[in-house]
Amino acid sequence: MPTGVAIRDVREHLFGAAERVLLRDGAQGLTSRAVTTEAGVAKGVLHRHFADFDGFLAALIDDRIARLADRAAVLRADAGSGTVIGNLTDVLLDLFGSVATALIGLMIFRDDLRVRLRTAYPGGVPLLSDAAAMVADYLTLERDAGRLLPDADPQMLALTLLGSSHLLAAGRRDTAPQDVTRLVTSVVGPALP
């Protein structure tokens, strides 16, 4: 990109470039140079907006976690409509069909990033833990509405769903919807009335 050309939303432009590099080249290929090259900007653009590369990556993960709030609102609104299996399948396909799996791998791969994130997210794996809380909240609503058995444990069901979905999606570009439906049915089916 030529010098002096304004970029509307620099952060989002760089975040999008980072996600493309991460999906294409993996965590080992994600460097500040690769991100700025992918974004078509000078390397200084990234460092003008972020103190260092791990700060950039932490901001990317924070941004993607913040987006879960929108998805959580949609999932809460779905409580009581459709089917529990269908609603959960949709949210898991949405979550793990995105770059979430790659971002989780990135957090595991980069020690300094993981240490930095521990300050803001002291427990669990950021993004994955937030997604589990979102699913647990939804399952609680469904249990309270009588669409799950009264003794169903939303927290344990959510942890099982998220961990299993992560394993199902890890190392794949796309996860087959029927595999996710099968997983959700296996985990949640026994808790349905």
Q: Helix, strand or coil for residue 153?
A: coil
pLDDT at 69: 85
Is the CB of residue 49 less than 8 Å from the CB of residue 14? yes
Q: What is the pLDDT of residue 168?
A: 85
| 8 Å CB contact between 174 and 99 | no
Q: Which two tokens stand for residue 79?
A: 């409580």
**pLDDT tens digits along 108-143:** 888 888 888 888 887 778 888 889 999 999 999 999
- CA proximity to 116, closest of 67, 51, 69: 51
CA–CA gap between residue 74 and residue 54 (Å, rounded): 31
Of the CA atoms within 13 Å of residue 119, those in its CB half-sphere come to 7
- Is the pTM higher than 0.75? The answer reads yes
Domains and CATH numbers, the chain: 1-49 (1.10.10.60), 65-184 (1.10.357)
pLDDT number for residue 95: 86
Residues of the chain with pLDDT under 70: 1-8, 98, 171-175
- The pLDDT of residue 7 is 60
Per-residue confidence (pLDDT) for residue 1, from 0 to 100? 43
Cα–Cα distance measured from residue 7 to residue 4, given in angstroms and rounded to the nearest whole number: 9
